[in-house]
Homo-oligomer: A and B are copies of this chain.
Amino acid sequence: MASYSNRKEDVLKRLRRIEGQVRGLQRMVEEDTYCIDVLTQVSATTRALQSFALQMLDEHMDTCVRTAVADGGGGNGDIKLKEASDAIARLVRS
């Protein structure tokens, strides 16, 4: 079970929409669309991926991290906080 498991259909729908955006980019390229218009769509796709990541991170902190921390002892809270922090750094730097 992952923190998104009970709303997997929503998550998949969102990813399919992003896949649709990437396929839209391919169509634009096939039709020799002007570079600047392709780039505008790339920026929109990047933003959609970032929003997706932020929501997944939120849910993860709200469930896995919270549970591990609330459980106290065992150092599991430490591990989960470190993992989340590394994931955040990757998002900020990408």
Contact = CB atoms under 8 A, between A and B. Distances in A.
A24 to B, nearest CB: 10
Contacts of A18: 22
A66 to B, nearest CB: 5
Main secondary structure of the interface of A (DSSP, over half): helix
Contacts of A72: 70
Interface residues of A, number: 64
Interface string A3-46: 11100100110011011001101100110111110111011111
16 contacts: A8-B30, A12-B29, A16-B26, A35-B56, A39-B90, A40-B87, A42-B49, A42-B52, A50-B92, A50-B93, A57-B85, A62-B81, A66-B69, A70-B70, A70-B77, A88-B92
